[in-house]
Chain A
Amino acid sequence: MTATPTPAGPAGAGAASPTPLLRLDNVDTFYGPIHILQGVTLEVMPGELVSLLGGNASGKSTTLKTALGLVRPRTGTVSIAGEDVTTRTTSYRIAKGLAIVPENRRLFAPMTVLENLEMGAYLHGSPTKEDFERVYTLFPRVYERRSQLAGTLSGGEQQMVAVGRALMCRPRLLLMDEPSMGLAPILVEKSFEIIQQVHEAGVAMLIVEQNANMALSIADRGYVLSTGRIVLQGTAAMLLADDDLKKAYLGR
Chain B
Amino acid sequence: MSSGPRIGKDEWVAREGEQRERRSGLLGGIARAQARTPWWAFLAVFVVLACLVPVVTSDSYIQRVAFDTTIFMLLALGLNVVVGWGGLLDLGYVAFFGFGAYLYAILGSSQFDIHVPTIVVIPVVTLAGALLGLVVGLPSWRLVGDYLAIVTLFALQIFRSVITNGHDIFGSNVTNGVNGILKVDPLSWFGHALPVSHRGLFNPDYLYVAIGFFVVIYVALRFVNASRTGRAWRALREDPLAATSMGMPIDWLKLMAFAFGAGIAALTGTLTASVNAAVFPDNFDVPQLITIYAMVILGGAGSQAGAIVGAVVVNVMLESLRSPDNSRWVFYIAVLLLLLPVLRSARKYLLLVAATVAFGFAVHAIAGAIDPAWTRGTTPGGGAVGRAIAHWAIVPQSLGSTREASYVLLIAAVLAVVTIRGRWKLVALVPTLYLASFVWENVLGPQPEITRYILLGAILVGVMTTRPAGILGERRVEIV
Contacts and interface: CB of A to CB of B under 8 A. Distances in A.
A55 B111 CA distance: 71
A82 interface: no
B251 to A, nearest CB: 9
A214 interface: no
B479 interface: yes
Interface in B238-268: 238-239, 241-249
Interface in A97-129: 100, 102, 105-111, 115, 118-120, 122-123, 125-126
A184 B7 CA distance: 9
B242 A108 contact: yes
B8 A157 contact: yes
Contacts of B10: 154
Which of A68, A100, A106, A158 lies at the interface centre, i.e. has the most chain B CB atoms within 10 A of its CB? Answer: A106
B136 to A, nearest CB: 23
Nearest to A158: B479
Contact of B246 (A140, A152, A157, A169): A169
Nearest to A90: B244
A122 to B, nearest CB: 5
Interface stretch (B18-26, B169-177, B227-235, B460-468): B227-235
Interface string A65-79: 000101000000000
B4 A190 contact: yes
A153 B13 CA distance: 8
Contacts of B474: 110
Given A119-B231, A122-B247, A144-B2, A152 B242 contact: no
A190 B477 contact: no
A160 B4 CA distance: 12
A122 B238 contact: no
Nearest to A101: B245
B228 A110 contact: no
Interface residues of B, number: 32
Contact of A110 (B7, B8, B232, B238): B238
Interface in A153-168: 153-158, 160, 165
B478 interface: yes
B479 A94 contact: no
Contacts of A126: 228
A70 B246 contact: no
Interface in B242-296: 242-249
B347 interface: no
Interface string B217-233: 00000000000100110
Which of B2, B10, B228, B245 lies at the interface centre, i.e. has the most chain A CB atoms within 10 A of its CB? Answer: B245
B476 interface: yes
Interface in A128-146: 139-141, 144
B56 interface: no
A95 B248 CA distance: 10
A196 interface: no
B2 A140 contact: yes
A109 B479 contact: yes
Contacts of B248: 91, 119, 122
B231 to A, nearest CB: 6
A237 B1 CA distance: 29
A107 B7 contact: no
B9 interface: yes
Contacts of A91: 247-249
A79 B389 CA distance: 81
Interface of B: 1-2, 4-5, 7-10, 12-13, 16, 228, 231-232, 234-235, 238-239, 241-249, 474, 476-479
22 contacts: A91-B247, A91-B249, A94-B247, A95-B247, A102-B241, A106-B242, A107-B479, A109-B477, A118-B231, A119-B235, A122-B231, A122-B235, A144-B2, A149-B13, A150-B479, A152-B12, A152-B13, A153-B9, A154-B7, A156-B4, A184-B7, A190-B1
Interface of A: 68, 70, 89-91, 94-95, 100, 102, 105-111, 115, 118-120, 122-123, 125-126, 139-141, 144, 148-158, 160, 165, 169, 184, 186-187, 190, 194
Given A109-B477, A141-B1, A190-B1, 19 more contacts: A95-B247, A105-B479, A106-B239, A108-B242, A109-B476, A109-B478, A111-B235, A119-B235, A122-B228, A122-B232, A141-B2, A148-B13, A150-B479, A151-B479, A152-B13, A155-B7, A157-B8, A184-B7, A190-B4
